[in-house]
Amino acid sequence: MDRVQTAEHGETAEPVNSSPAEATPEPTPRPAPGPTPGSASGPVPDPQPLRPRHRVTAWAAGLLMVVPALVTACRALDTDAMTPVPQLLSILPWLTVPAALALLLAAVTRRRVLTFVTVLVLGATAWSTVPYMPQTVISYGLPLARVKVIAANVEFGQGTASLAEAVRRERPQLVFVSECDRACRSTLTGTFAEALPHYASVEGEGSVGSILLSSYPLRDWRMIPAAMGMPGATAEIAGVPVRLQLTHPLPPVPGQVHLWKRELGRVRDTVAARPTGPMLVAGDFNASQDHAAFREILAAGGLQDAARRAHQSRTPTWPEEGPPLPPFVQIDHVLVRDFSVREVRFLNLAGSDHRAVLADLDLRGPR
C-alpha cells in the first residue's frame, strides 16, 4: 500500500511509487485535413479553360455555319449576289444538313452563345426552304378549256425520241422544247404534223435551238434576245388570246452570272409588258424558286408556279443523269396566269439530263 506524507511534517504530498500507466497523457496534435490515401475524392479544382478537343469542335461548328448563314442571308435579302451564292442557292434545302451538324457540335462544347447562334442559323435555313408563292389574290371565272402542257429540255436533241413517246402518250396541246437542234425540230414537226401543226422556233445546233409546238393557231411571233433560243407567240384558246413564252436563259456558272441575270431580267420585262390576260411561261429557267431573279419574274407578271400550286415545288428536275449525283433542284417550270392547276407530273426522258414537267391546266374566264 502506497504511503503519502502529509503537510504536518512540512513536506509536499505526492504519490509514492506511481506507475506510468496512471500518469495523465498529454494531448496529441491532430493532422491537418487532407485526402485519404488511396481515395479518389479531394478538393474541387478551379474551373479549367475549354479543352483542346472542345476548342476544335467549336471551330468546326463555326465553320459549318458559314455557308448556311451566308446563303440564308442572301435569300432573306432577296438577292442572288455573286458566285458562289447563285450556285449555292440551288441547294438551299440541303444546307439544313451542315446547319444541324453545327448545332450538334455546339451542344457538345456546352458553349451557350455558340449553341444559340447555331439554333438561329438552323431555324433561318429551315424557314428559307418553305416554298415560295407571290402574295396575290387568285380570282377565277368559269373554266373555258382544258390544256395539257409539257416543258422539256432534250439536252442537245438526245432526248427527242423519249419526248416523242411522251407526247404520243400524254397528248398535250402545247409543248415547249429547249435544246432542240435541227434534227430534233425536223423529228417533232414531222411526227406531230397533225396533232401539233403550229409552231414557233429558233433554229440552231446544240443548246441554241428551241421550239414551241401547239395544237392552236399561233400569231404575233416574237423572240427574247438571248444566247439560246427563247421564242414566244400568242395562241387562240377557246376564243381567248393566250400569250406563250418559252424560256431558256444561260445557266449561272461562274464567270457568266451577270449574263444569267440579264437574260432572266429580259424574261421578267417581257411578262411585265403584258400585265393582264392569260399567260403561259414554260421551259428550262436554269433557276429555282430560291433565286431572286426567278421570283422577280413571278412578281412582275402575277404568275403562279404550277408545281407550287400542285404542292410539288421541291420535286427536283435536274440533273437526271443517274448515280453518283441524284437530281437535287427544280429548274424546269410551267408558270401560269388565269389558269387553274389540275395536276403536275414529272417525266423521265431517256437521253436527257432534265425531267420534263407535265401540267394539266384549266383556262379560266374572267370572274
Q: Indicate whether 187 belongs to any domain.
A: yes
Mean pLDDT calculated for residue range 160-168 = 98
* pLDDT at res. 26: 55
The whole domain housing 124 covers: 52-128
Q: What is the pLDDT of residues 2-27, one digit of tens each?
A: 444 444 444 444 444 444 444 455 55
Average pLDDT score, the chain: 88
pLDDT at 21: 44
Q: Please determine, for residue 149, whether its predicted confidence score (pLDDT) is greater than 60.
A: yes
Same domain, 311 and 184: yes
pLDDT of residue 47: 47
Place of cell 413517246: 165
Return all residues near 150 (Cβ < 8 A) that are at least 6 apart.
163, 166, 167, 170, 172, 174, 175, 176, 347, 356, 357, 358
Q: Which of the listed residues 84, 104, 128 is the one where a domain comes to its end?
A: 128
pLDDT at 209: 97
Using CA atoms, how far apart are residues 306 and 244, in angstroms rounded to an integer? 15
Q: Are residues 116 and 206 in the same domain?
A: no
Q: What DSSP designation does 205 have?
A: S
Give the chain's count of helices (H) and strands (E).
9, 12
Q: How far apart are CA 276 and CA 268, in angstroms?
A: 14
pLDDT (0 to 100) of residue 12: 43
Q: What is the pLDDT of residue 125?
A: 96
> CB neighbours of 101 closer than 8 A, spacing ≥ 6?
64
Residue 300 contacts residue 277 (beta carbons within 8 Å): no
121 and 150 share one domain: no
Q: How confident is the model at residue 31 (pLDDT cuts 50, 70, 90)?
A: low
- Does one domain contain both 58 and 169? no
Regarding whether 148 and 104 lie in a shared domain, the answer is no
Residues in the chain: 367
Q: What is the pLDDT of residues 233-279, one digit of tens each?
A: 999 999 999 999 999 999 999 999 999 999 999 999 999 999 999 99
- What's residue 366's pLDDT? 83
Which of 99, 128, 157 is the last residue in one of the domains? 128
Question: Which of 147, 138, 361 lies closest to 238, judged by CA?
Answer: 147
Mean pLDDT of 85-103: 96
pLDDT band at 28 (very low <50, low <70, confident <90, very high): low
Q: Of 218, 250, 219, 228, which Cα lies nearest the Cα of 180?
A: 228
- Provide the pLDDT for residue 50: 53
Give the least confident one: 47-51, 103-107, 132-136.
Answer: 47-51
Shared domain check, 161 and 79: no
Q: What proportion of the chain, given as a percentage, has pLDDT over 90? A: 79
> Is 135 part of a structural domain of the chain?
no
Once rounded to an integer, what is the mean pLDDT over residues 160-180? 98
Relative to beta strand 304-305, strand 210-214 is unpaired
Task: Tell whether the torsion through CA atoms of 278, 283, 285 and 288 is positive or negative.
Answer: positive
Dist. CA 266–CA 255, nearest whole Å = 19
Using the 3D structure, point to which of 64, 94, 128 is the last residue of a domain. Answer: 128
Tell me, yes or no, whether 207 and 234 share the same domain. yes
> Comparing 35-39, 193-197, 344-348, 361-365, which segment has the lowest mean pLDDT?
35-39
| More confident: 306 or 45 | 306
The Cα 117–Cα 124 span in angstroms is 11
More confident residue, 56 or 49: 56
Asked whether residue 261 is domain-assigned, the answer is yes
Question: Three cell numbers at 209?
Answer: 435551238
Q: Are 114 and 173 within one domain?
A: no
Q: What is the pLDDT of residues 197-241, one digit of tens each?
A: 999 999 999 999 999 999 999 999 999 999 999 999 999 999 999
Domain identity same for 284 and 314: yes
33 domain residue, yes or no: no
In a domain, 209, yes or no: yes
pLDDT of 275 reads: 93
Give the separation between CA 7 and CA 117, rounded to whole angstroms: 93
What is the structure's pLDDT at 139?
A: 65
Both 68 and 177 in a single domain?
Answer: no
pTM of the entire predicted model: 0.83
Do residues 77 and 71 touch, judged by C-beta distance below 8 A?
no
Q: What pLDDT does residue 61 have?
A: 94
> Is residue 319 domain-shared with residue 230, that is, in the same domain?
yes
Section 141-158 average pLDDT: 96
Contacts of 74-81 with CB under 8 Å at 24 or more apart are 75/128, 75/290, 76/124, 76/128, 78/292, 78/295, 79/292, 80/252, 80/257, 80/261, 80/291, 80/292, 80/293
**Domain presence at residue 150:** yes
- Greater confidence (110 vs 306) lies with 306
276 part of a folded domain? yes
What is the mean predicted confidence (pLDDT) over 346-367?
95
Is residue 39 included in any domain, yes or no? no
User: How many domains, in total, are found in the chain?
Assistant: 2
pLDDT at 77: 95
Question: CATH number of the domain that 226 lies in?
Answer: 3.60.10.10
Within this chain, do residues 116 and 166 fall inside the same structural domain, yes or no?
no
d(CA 181, CA 209): 5
